[in-house]
């Protein structure tokens, strides 16, 4: 099995560890209602690049494809391909079997996609199949390329202008200070006792603790947590790894 190694973690395609994933800033997905994650370096680059595109062109860029687990890759693949019968044109092979294309855009055989390494995105409103002259793409891609985003794979036989892959070696801004990998924490709001507070929550299971403006942190029960929320306290939702780091830094 092919593996990749990053930040001391060796992992297979579709098995990117949560510890090396980070959120993209802002809401993602076609309707901008979803949370997206990439590998830490790719997420930092995308967040930087999207801000740079906005600053230099006024355009907002967001994505509808990001890190995919192996089972998510299976779903995408089977939505677009079906086992080939005798006489069918075989477009690709998976698990030793030929498949024919049935969708409008290809998906890589499961376990081979750059989405499975946490390094690929599919950009919203970047043109249709083979439409490399889409105005938004023409304006934004050169800036994204400065931050390490490549379209070599997209320009292959799949002809997908929206499909970009992060190459750290091509990232001219990788050494910028204070790279962002998660959205900045919101300003604290008053708690029921008048002391500014933030709720730090683990997104996977809802576990939480509070942090006051003075830096004091404590775990709270469900009743107290509800009281803080009703009083207008702001929440910061973190990945498991981010929550563990925050606990270590603030509770000990």
Q: What is the pLDDT of residues 160-188, one digit of tens each?
A: 999 999 999 999 998 874 444 444 444 34
Q: What pLDDT sits at residue 241? A: 73
Distance CA 26, CA 63 (A): 10
Four-way CATH pick for 3-68+113-171: 3.30.1380.10, 3.30.360.10, 3.50.50.60, 3.40.50.300? 3.30.1380.10
With a pLDDT cut of 90, the percent of the chain lying above it is 62
148-152: average pLDDT = 97
Is the Cβ–Cβ distance between 2 and 13 less than 8 Å? Answer: yes
Q: Is residue 63 scored above 90 in pLDDT?
A: yes
What pLDDT is recorded for position 235? 75
Determine the average pLDDT of the residues in 43-67.
Answer: 96
Residues in the chain: 252
Q: What local confidence, expressed as pLDDT, does residue 127 receive?
A: 95
pLDDT band at residue 192 under the 50/70/90 scheme? very low
Q: What is the mean pLDDT of the chain?
A: 85
Looking at residue 180, what is its pLDDT? Answer: 46
Dist CA 42 CA 174 (whole Å): 10
pLDDT at 115: 97
- At 36, the pLDDT band (50, 70, 90 cuts) reads very high
Neighbours of 148 (CB within 10 A): 24
Among 69-73, 192-196, 208-212, which stretch is predicted with the lowest mean pLDDT?
Answer: 192-196
pLDDT at 196: 58
């Amino acid at each position: 099995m092919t593996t990749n190694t990053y930040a001391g973690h060796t992992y297979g395609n579709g098995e990117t560890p949560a510890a090396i994933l980070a959120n993209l800033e802002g809401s993602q997905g076609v309707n901008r209602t979803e949370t997206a994650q990439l590998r830490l370096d790719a997420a930092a680059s995308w967040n930087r690049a999207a801000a740079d595109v906005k600053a230099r062109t006024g355009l907002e860029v967001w994505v509808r494809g990001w890190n995919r687990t192996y089972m998510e890759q299976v779903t995408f693949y089977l939505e677009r391909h079906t086992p080939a019968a005798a006489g069918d044109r075989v477009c690709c092979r998976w698990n030793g079997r030929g498949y024919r294309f049935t969708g409008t855009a290809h998906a890589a055989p499961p376990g081979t996609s750059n989405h499975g390494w946490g390094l690929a995105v599919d950009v919203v409103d970047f043109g249709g199949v083979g439409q490399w002259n889409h105005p938004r793409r023409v304006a934004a891609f050169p800036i994204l390329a400065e931050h390490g985003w490549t379209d070599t794979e997209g320009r292959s036989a799949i002809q997908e202008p929206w499909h970009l892959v992060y190459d750290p070696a091509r990232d001219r801004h990788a050494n910028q200070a204070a790279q962002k990998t998660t959205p900045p924490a919101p300003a604290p709001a008053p708690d029921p006792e008048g002391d500014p507070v933030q709720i730090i929550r683990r997104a996977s299971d809802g576990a939480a603790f509070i942090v006051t403006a003075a830096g004091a942190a404590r775990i709270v029960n469900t009743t107290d947590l509800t009281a803080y929320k009703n009083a207008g306290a702001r929440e910061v939702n973190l990945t498991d790894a981010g929550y563990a780091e925050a606990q270590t830094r603030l509770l000990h």
